[in-house]
Amino acid sequence: MRIEFRRSAAAVGAAAMLVAACTATPAATTSPSIAATTSPSTTAEPSAGATPGGSGSGAPSGGAADDWPHTGTLKDGSTFTLNPRIAEKLENGEPVNYVFSYGSSSIPLFSPQYLAGYTRSLPEAQKILPMNGQAIAPASAVQDPNEQIAQIQAQWDSDQIDCLSVQPTGQDTFTKITNDIMADGIPVFTVGVQSNGNELTNFTQISEKEGEQAANILLDWMEETGNQLKVFAVSGGDPTQNWAQGRMKGFIDTIKAAIPDATFANTESNALVTTYDPAGTYDAYKAFLQGNPEVQFIENVDIGAEHAARAITDLGLAGKVWTLGWNVSLGQLEAIEAGTQVVALDQRWGDQAAFGAVACAEFLKNGKILPNTQELLPVTKENLEQSREDFLKICECG
């Protein structure tokens, strides 16, 4: 994104720093060309090449706001110009309306951690810029993109959004509304899932690289423990989602490359559907293991690994079958401690939910676009106690 600035003597230093940030060249290019960062291999990095310059009018006055970006060229070649309604609020020092939209308020573990992350972000953002916050989400048991988009549309239609952060459910599901809102001069950031819109930053991981990372952790564990596994399976609460597909495909491809005679009872095209309901997930794993006694390892790509571990134990298969999963719960930590689960890959939901408020404040106040620095934190026996302590600090949803 090429950003233009209103120039003043006081602005030269800050603008120069942004020029330097925008001319670095990161390795991946899954976000608009607005800022650069050095990130680990599991991180989706924004692309490089922005060229700030020029002059303009209508920027809010006072302090760092003299560096306020009012126009810029977006990823699809369209031009972003801040909505005059928002510019007037900034000029007058009025609070901006920040809206955070996520996929569901009713999914165990995910929903309360997302809400907690949003809540803790507001005070930090309000120190940068006066801001009113609102979190919205469908109440459905699974993520409902149609309802989520309808909720965003209603807020937009009533001029209640001055800056938006969205946790999308797919790479293209939210592209149209993201691009339409950006075209209306309202900044948009996306979190948690890869996305192809004009958002200023996509704060998340690359799903196939996540799957590769999970597989490599398992391969290291196999070498350390002497467990030479040959038969694998994949599963998830909603395996059709693009992030789930990527995690499964990356896992399968990496295992097959390392173990040529490995077999999979299923693949990303026919993965075991467990749902997000604890009882239903447990029953699905128990039935699957009874029907597929040759399986030695199950990848779960979301929150259900603890229920796979319970099914393994209850069927008397501990020490014969293992699992891994994403995110953190007390059940997963207990399964890791017991040795039934190899690793939990913490994508730090709270950080994803917290990103948007500060990103909006920094962009609107200082012309700074925060980069994508998301990375997975593997939780194993080595860091189990620290993870449990951290989990209990941020969430009362064991």
Q: Which of 20-24, 204-208, 221-225, 385-389 has the highest mean pLDDT?
A: 221-225
Answer yes or no: is pLDDT of 256 > 90.
yes
pLDDT at residue 192, rounded to an integer: 95
Count Cα atoms within 13 angstroms, Cβ side, for 157: 6
275-323 tens-digit pLDDT: 999 999 999 999 999 999 999 999 999 999 999 999 999 999 999 999 9
Integer angstrom CA distances of residue 392 from 123, 278, 340, 389:
21, 20, 22, 5
Q: What is the CATH number of the domain that holds 356?
A: 3.40.50.2300
Q: Does this model's pTM top 0.85? A: no
* Residue 337 domain flag: yes
- Is the pLDDT reported for residue 193 higher than 80? yes
Shared-domain flag, residues 32 and 167 = yes
How does residue 391 score in pLDDT terms, banded at 50, 70 and 90? confident
pLDDT score of 123 = 98
For the ranges 147-151, 162-166, 192-196, which has the lowest average pLDDT? 192-196
Distance CA 57, CA 41 (A): 40
Q: How far apart are CA 281 and CA 274, in angstroms?
A: 5
Report, as an integer, the average pLDDT of 223-250: 96
Residues 232 and 310 in one domain: yes
Cα atoms found within 13 Å of the Cα of residue 332, Cβ hemisphere only: 28
Neighbouring-strand partners of residue 324: 299
Q: Which residues pair with 79 in a beta bridge?
A: 73
The answer to whether residue 374 sits within a structural domain is no
Strand 297-300 with 341-346, pairing:
unpaired
Between 252 and 390, where is the model more confident?
Answer: 252
Tell me what pLDDT residue 35 has. Answer: 31
Domain that holds residue 14: 3-205+349-367
**pLDDT of residue 161 exceeding 50:** yes
Number of domains in the chain: 2
Residues whose CB is less than 8 angstroms from the CB of residue 251 and which lie 6 or more positions away in sequence, other chains included: 211, 212, 214, 215, 234, 299
For residue 79, being part of any structural domain is answered with: yes
**Stronger pLDDT, 367 or 9, i.e. the higher one:** 367
Q: Output the pLDDT for position 68.
A: 54
30-86 confidence digits (pLDDT tens): 333 333 222 223 333 333 222 222 222 233 333 344 455 557 788 888 889 999 999
The arithmetic mean of pLDDT across residues 138-142, rounded, is: 91
Residue 398 has pLDDT above 80, yes or no: no
pLDDT computed for residue 142 by the predictor: 86
Asked if residue 104 is part of any domain, the answer here is: yes
Provide the b/e sequence for 358-392 (b: ≥16 CB within 10 Å): bbbbbbbbbbbbbbbebbbebbbeeeeeebbebbe
Residues 285 and 355 in one domain: no
Cα–Cα distance measured from residue 285 to residue 278, given in angstroms and rounded to the nearest whole number: 11
Q: Do 354 and 266 belong together in one domain? A: no
Q: Which pLDDT value is given to residue 272?
A: 98
Residue with tokens 């700074």: 368
**Is position 395 within any domain?**
no
Mean pLDDT (whole number) for 192-212: 95
Q: Kindly state whether residues 233 and 156 are assigned to the same domain.
A: no
> Which residue has tokens 């030269």?
12
Per-residue H/E/C for the chain: CCEEECCCHHHHHHHHHHHHHHCCCCCCCCECCCCCCCCCCCECCECCCCCCCCCCCCCCCCHHHHHCEEEEECCCCCEEECCHHHHHHHHHCCCEEEEEECCCCCCCCHHHHHHHHHHHHHHHHHHHCCEEEEEECCCCCCCCHHHHHHHHHHHHHCCCCCEEEECCCCCCCCHHHHHHHHHCCCCEEEECCCCCCCCCCEECECHHHHHHHHHHHHHHHHHHHCCCCCEEEEEECCCCCHHHHHHHHHHHHHHHHHCCCCEECCCCCCCEECCCCHHHHHHHHHHHHHHCCCCCEEEECCCCHHHHHHHHHHCCCECCEEEEEECCCHHHHHHHHHCCEEEEEECCHHHHHHHHHHHHHHHHHHCCCCCCCCCCEEECHHHHHHHHHHHHHHCCCC
| pLDDT bucket at 393, cuts 50 / 70 / 90 | confident
Residues 45 and 139 in one domain: yes
Given the DSSP bridges, would you call strands 3-5 and 69-73 parallel, antiparallel or unpaired?
A: antiparallel
The reply to whether 111 falls in a domain is yes
Residue 396 confidence class, pLDDT cut points 50, 70, 90: low
- 81 falls within a domain: yes
Residues 6+ apart with CB under 8 A from 353: 100, 102, 113, 114, 115, 116, 117, 118, 121, 167, 191, 192
pLDDT category of residue 199 using cuts at 50, 70 and 90: very high
Domain contains 105: yes
Nearest to 189 by CA among 93, 121, 108: 121
| Residues 188 and 177 placed together within one structural domain of the fold | yes
One domain, residues 147 and 233: no
The one-letter code for the residue type at 313 is: T
Question: pLDDT tens-digit profile of 257-272?
Answer: 999 999 999 999 999 9
Q: Do 228 and 114 fall into the same domain?
A: no
Average pLDDT over the chain reads 84
Same-domain check for residues 212 and 174: no
Residues 155 and 251 placed together within one structural domain of the fold: no
Phi, psi (degrees; rounded to nearest 5) at 134: -150, 130
One domain for residues 29 and 173 = yes
